[in-house]
Structure 1
């Protein structure tokens, strides 16, 4: 039997997601990874060198997973909730940009 929580929608999931990102260094690493994903994506498109798009998951998840395993010391939500977790990354990124979440 799984101890995985059941979420019916993203609004139910997001508070859980934020709890899993309580460490400020973890949040900063998520922010950095997300920002670099945007920068590299734009660079790939502008330069026409689309091979860089292959690096996006490594960049985004690499920073996030270091934050989880080293600082948060928990398992990334991506493993159990891949779609909600991806949405959570970008909502948290936005919330940090507009000052709703400290980082």
Structure 2
């Protein structure tokens, strides 16, 4: 699916398939959580220059994982907004124990009892 998806419902399984390696997902979780922490701290302390570190951190972790673990192009280049939303969705689902069924539906894992490292 190199072309743009017509709907977010079509994009979401593609996004998950582009994050098939557990290491890629872990790097995304780290970037999302560290970046969000930096953003919140910058807003709370009114350190406005530090707001710039939020996307650098989040995308930095993600892009490194795509280059060296997944070896594919980040979905950000196809759908920037949907990719951004999906980073937070994937992280939230992983931390609440609900990501594995989504990975199965997307064809990343063969069956619900497969080890997802989640």
Q: TM-score, normalised by structure 2?
A: 0.79
CA–CA separation in structure 1 for the residues paired with 2:69 and 2:4: 26
**After superposition, where does 1:83-94 map in structure 2 within 5 Å?**
83-94=81-92
Runs of 4+ in 1 over 6 A off after TM superposition: none
CA–CA separation in structure 2 for the residues paired with 1:99 and 1:77: 23
Q: TM-score, normalised by structure 1?
A: 0.90
Partner of 2:114: none
Distance 1:72 1:53, change over 3 A: same
CA–CA separation in structure 2 for the residues paired with 1:26 and 1:6: 22
Q: Deviations over 1:41-95 (max 9, x none)?
A: 1110111212110111110100001110000010101112112111111111111
Partner of 1:54: 52
Q: Is the 8 A contact 2:4 2:78 kept in 1?
A: no
